[in-house]
Chain A
């Protein structure tokens, strides 16, 4: 029964333990976060002033493309899967994930997928240079030869995500402890359940679209070429049918994390639990019918424009409900501001700002001015960096004592937070301005009137990068040792994970707990 981990490398290669696999996912995504971050710094260094200084446009485009792909598929998604692996079984009182061997497999194909993607940087003609959205025909007829490796790599990452999603659904639906009804599950479990369904709905579509590219490139079809009877806009429809839900895949689990952290540090139960669940489901449903708001300028008929505009605006209702619920949870609480809480509060504020710019972007006529400018870059970084990255960071600080049995260094955590907070805003806030003033996105060089804000953004980016080094240092130090954490870690937090010792034993809930 109680055997522990195997020794050495075998432990990690052969493991079927949800905690080990969670750890693997988290470290992998941390590494990818730094890799993608370095690429962002190359971009920001080149954009520090007008003119070409550090890289040439070909390489610049490879950097924007790889930065996007690595952050989306390498940093954010695996981090959430890692958190799901660690936390979901402990939160629902299950001994492990439902499909432990598949769990091992879904992690271990990832490093290979990314090795293949990264290897394109060293190929003749360079890495993919068509943006992370890889619009045809730039990504088909006009692509560098490495595009085939990119396609295969996306297939692998997609397979990994689908397997991860199946595992999470199977675990949540089958392995809850007695008494743990659906409406008693922590919101992190709920948001992940819904996210997993979204993944299963759209990852095959992504696989489909890259396969269509593959056919166009190598097998003489013309899905995306007008010359052969196809349509380049078809690509965008299929891509964004995946791409928009993907955005929510990267944010719904974050909602779950924030809904766990705010009540703990406000010492007050989450306001409107059931409305949170319904709002999450509503957002997930709406996310499937708004995709063409990414394509307002492709020349859709006006009926299409109006439908996608209205549907998109609607998303702000359930999203607003969530924000209001969190604020109401804080209202009349008894708050303290430890590092996880700081990140969670910053999440609410900055994610709301990203939501506001999202609402502005939803207005089709105004979007004609915003589309493909830095305003969009500012918008989605406000949603993703404080949204996904800050929530993951908050989660790591929140559960790290449970994982390692040691308290992290609070001062260093606060330094990390303030550096990251200032760096983030310095980087991305000015992007709203240059975007509105007319700077298109994805350009390696720009007109002189954009120079000052770009310089600010570049300085901010390096500050943000430095903050993450503090984070890495803090995490490593906590893993190595530190003040021992109690079982509860925090002041009376809710949830089954706080009923097991810190660090959580290799096997938890071998006998299911009974939920009241």
Chain B
């Protein structure tokens, strides 16, 4: 049914001079006018429900506007039409109260059924905990050791128009959520700071992530593929920059991936014992800084006056090391926007980023922080 609708708009689109910052060969689906059909049963049912109501509305619209345009055409003074004087009819009023009510009941039946389906989170094969942070997502595979953060990976240069934009501009992350297909996956959704909302249109899952409370949702993906979504609840400055990417793979591939993840986590833990040179730490620190800190403190370390303090010349970054370790690892006591990074970053990354902050942006402390220092600091607490 929708085909004709789509074609109409394709035509409309072609007739307009299309402008875009995207290179022509890129396969971005432009002029999309409708909800995706989705890759889960719930998504497809939702899509059908949406189309059903849409067509009912179209039918009512055609009828009502039809009468209206007919009278605007025929019953105008310029055509000499004399006004009738009728102005009341209880029968008619009753008819157009009852018929819409019946239509509404007919709509409510499938809607109620779908809703029950969506709310049935029982008997899941796999539980994934999703935590929204300003402005990234954390995924924990419950019952395994694996957990990680998923950050926007679109380079700042693309956002600031210094580089051409890639096809998945703003919809790409450093580490996607990997899930098996054909399994019932339960999502436990919460947030660490403000309210976020986890939304992937292809799964028809949208649930608010609320600090202090855990919401449930579920999905069963039928086809392998990469599905993209975004945070849907205004959550501060970079609300538009915390996408969601799901990679759905066959079960064997998923099991292998999970095993690999657990192994590499162990490897990173090992690195904690290693001693790094200043240059190694500084280089790694810059990467970590741009991923974890730059959103607020800015890439140039100058912060945003009145909102986010500067790192350049800051009392903490150029003061005693312990204070610096404390605020990065445990977060700020006074400003909730400064999160506790102790659990978010590895010891190596923490050491690197603190070294970086103390020696970049004109800060010249000259000291290096080793991963073991971080571990010792954490153990002291």
Tell me, rounded to whole Å, the shortest Cβ–Cβ distance linking B209 to chain A.
10
B196 closest partner in A (C-beta):
A138
Does A331 belong to the interface (CB within 8 Å)?
yes
Chain B residues numbered 84-138 whose CB sits less than 8 Å from any CB in chain A: 84-89, 92-93, 96-97, 100-101, 104, 107-108, 111-112, 114-116, 118-119, 134
Tell me, rounded to whole Å, the shortest Cβ–Cβ distance linking B47 to chain A.
8
Does B380 belong to the interface (CB within 8 Å)?
no
Q: Which of B16, B53, B101, B161 touches A363 (beta carbons < 8 Å)?
A: B53
B57 closest partner in A (C-beta):
A356
Q: Is the CB of B237 within 8 A of A58?
A: yes
Q: Report the bound CA distance from A130 to B337 in whole Å.
A: 14
B residues in contact with A275, CB < 8 Å: 93
Chain B residues numbered 221-251 whose CB sits less than 8 Å from any CB in chain A: 229-241
Q: Report the bound CA distance from A453 to B304 in whole Å.
A: 32
Does A182 belong to the interface (CB within 8 Å)?
no
Of B74-82, B252-260, B323-331, B365-373, the one contacting chain A is: B74-82
Tell me, rounded to whole Å, the shortest Cβ–Cβ distance linking B311 to chain A.
18
Does A393 belong to the interface (CB within 8 Å)?
no
Tell me, rounded to whole Å, the shortest Cβ–Cβ distance linking A290 to chain B.
14
Known: A52-B159, A275-B93, A440-B231. A333 touches B213 (CB 8 A): no
Of A33-41, A264-272, A502-510, the one contacting chain B is: A264-272
Q: Is the CB of A451 within 8 A of B240?
A: no
Does B379 belong to the interface (CB within 8 Å)?
no
Q: Is the CB of A137 within 8 A of B53?
A: no
A residues in contact with B229, CB < 8 Å: 438
Q: Is the CB of A306 within 8 A of B115?
A: yes
Q: Report the bound CA distance from A124 to B305 in whole Å.
A: 7
Does A373 belong to the interface (CB within 8 Å)?
yes
Q: Report the bound CA distance from A446 to B54 in whole Å.
A: 26
Does A460 belong to the interface (CB within 8 Å)?
no
Does A297 belong to the interface (CB within 8 Å)?
yes
Q: Report the bound CA distance from A368 to B202 in whole Å.
A: 12
Q: Is the CB of A360 within 8 A of B57?
A: yes
Tell me, rounded to whole Å, the shortest Cβ–Cβ distance linking A354 to chain B.
11
Total inter-chain residue pairs, C-beta < 8 Å: 319
B residues in contact with A321, CB < 8 Å: 93, 96-97
Q: Is the CB of B204 within 8 A of A369?
A: yes
Q: Report the bound CA distance from A142 to B236 in whole Å.
A: 8
Hey, what's the 0/1 contact readout for A376-396 against B, CB within 8 Å counting as 1? 000000000000000000000
A residues in contact with B118, CB < 8 Å: 365, 368
Q: Is the CB of A137 within 8 A of B211?
A: yes
Q: Is the CB of A448 within 8 A of B84?
A: no
Q: Is the CB of A131 within 8 A of B234?
A: yes
Q: Report the bound CA distance from A52 to B240 in whole Å.
A: 11
Q: Is the CB of B30 within 8 A of A297?
A: no
Q: Is the CB of B53 within 8 A of A360?
A: yes
Tell me, rounded to whole Å, the shortest Cβ–Cβ distance linking A372 to chain B.
4
Q: Report the bound CA distance from A289 to B167 in whole Å.
A: 45
B residues in contact with A364, CB < 8 Å: 111, 115
Chain A residues numbered 226-280 whose CB sits less than 8 Å from any CB in chain B: 226-227, 231-233, 266-275
A266 closest partner in B (C-beta):
B83
Q: Is the CB of A366 within 8 A of B50?
A: yes
Q: Report the bound CA distance from A443 to B243 in whole Å.
A: 12
Q: Is the CB of A328 within 8 A of B232?
A: no
Does A345 belong to the interface (CB within 8 Å)?
yes
B residues in contact with A352, CB < 8 Å: 61, 64-65
Q: Is the CB of A61 within 8 A of B237?
A: yes
Tell me, rounded to whole Å, the shortest Cβ–Cβ distance linking A253 to chain B.
22
Q: Report the bound CA distance from A299 to B11 in whole Å.
A: 41
Q: Which of B31, B68, B77, B210 touches A327 (beta carbons < 8 Å)?
A: B68
Q: Is the CB of A50 within 8 A of B72?
A: no
A48 closest partner in B (C-beta):
B19
Chain B residues numbered 297-339 whose CB sits less than 8 Å from any CB in chain A: 304-307, 336-337
Does B281 belong to the interface (CB within 8 Å)?
no
Tell me, rounded to whole Å, the shortest Cβ–Cβ distance linking A149 to chain B.
14
Does B215 belong to the interface (CB within 8 Å)?
yes
Does A412 belong to the interface (CB within 8 Å)?
no
Tell me, rounded to whole Å, the shortest Cβ–Cβ distance linking B20 to chain A.
6
Hey, what's the 0/1 contact readout for B8-41 against A, CB within 8 Å counting as 1? 0100010010111110001011111111100000
Does A433 belong to the interface (CB within 8 Å)?
yes
B residues in contact with A299, CB < 8 Å: 207-208, 210, 213, 215-216
Does A126 belong to the interface (CB within 8 Å)?
yes
Q: Is the CB of A356 within 8 A of B61?
A: yes
A residues in contact with B46, CB < 8 Å: 365-366, 368-369
B residues in contact with A227, CB < 8 Å: 211-212
Q: Which of A125, A332, A432 touches B307 (beta carbons < 8 Å)?
A: A125
B residues in contact with A320, CB < 8 Å: 96, 100
Q: Which of A310, A320, A365, A369 has the most CB of B within 10 A?
A: A365
Q: Is the CB of A272 within 8 A of B88?
A: yes
B residues in contact with A183, CB < 8 Å: none
Q: Which of B68, B75, B97, B169 touches A447 (beta carbons < 8 Å)?
A: B169
A residues in contact with B81, CB < 8 Å: 332-335
Q: Report the bound CA distance from A349 to B72 in whole Å.
A: 13
Q: Is the CB of A448 within 8 A of B169?
A: yes
Does A316 belong to the interface (CB within 8 Å)?
yes
Q: Is the CB of A331 within 8 A of B67?
A: yes
Known: A233-B210, A366-B53, A371-B232. A438 touches B201 (CB 8 A): yes
Q: Is the CB of B49 within 8 A of A363?
A: yes
Does A51 belong to the interface (CB within 8 Å)?
yes
Q: Report the bound CA distance from A363 to B93 in whole Å.
A: 26
B72 closest partner in A (C-beta):
A335
Chain A residues numbered 122-145 whose CB sits less than 8 Å from any CB in chain B: 123-126, 129-131, 135, 137-138, 141-142, 144-145
Does A500 belong to the interface (CB within 8 Å)?
no
B80 closest partner in A (C-beta):
A334
Known: A57-B238, A448-B22. A51 touches B165 (CB 8 A): yes
Q: Is the CB of B49 within 8 A of A365?
A: yes
Hey, what's the 0/1 contact readout for A174-216 against B, CB within 8 Å counting as 1? 0000000000000000000000000000000000000000000
Does A285 belong to the interface (CB within 8 Å)?
no
Interface CB pairs A-B, < 8 A, 7: A129-B236, A135-B194, A145-B306, A299-B216, A365-B114, A368-B46, A440-B239
Query: 4 shortest A-B CB distances, which residue pairs?
Result: A226-B212, A443-B240, A124-B306, A437-B32
Other A-B pairs beyond A57-B239, A369-B35, 20, CB < 8 Å: A52-B159, A137-B211, A142-B193, A233-B213, A266-B83, A271-B87, A272-B87, A272-B89, A299-B216, A314-B104, A320-B96, A321-B93, A327-B67, A363-B111, A366-B53, A440-B240, A443-B230, A444-B240, A446-B170, A456-B16
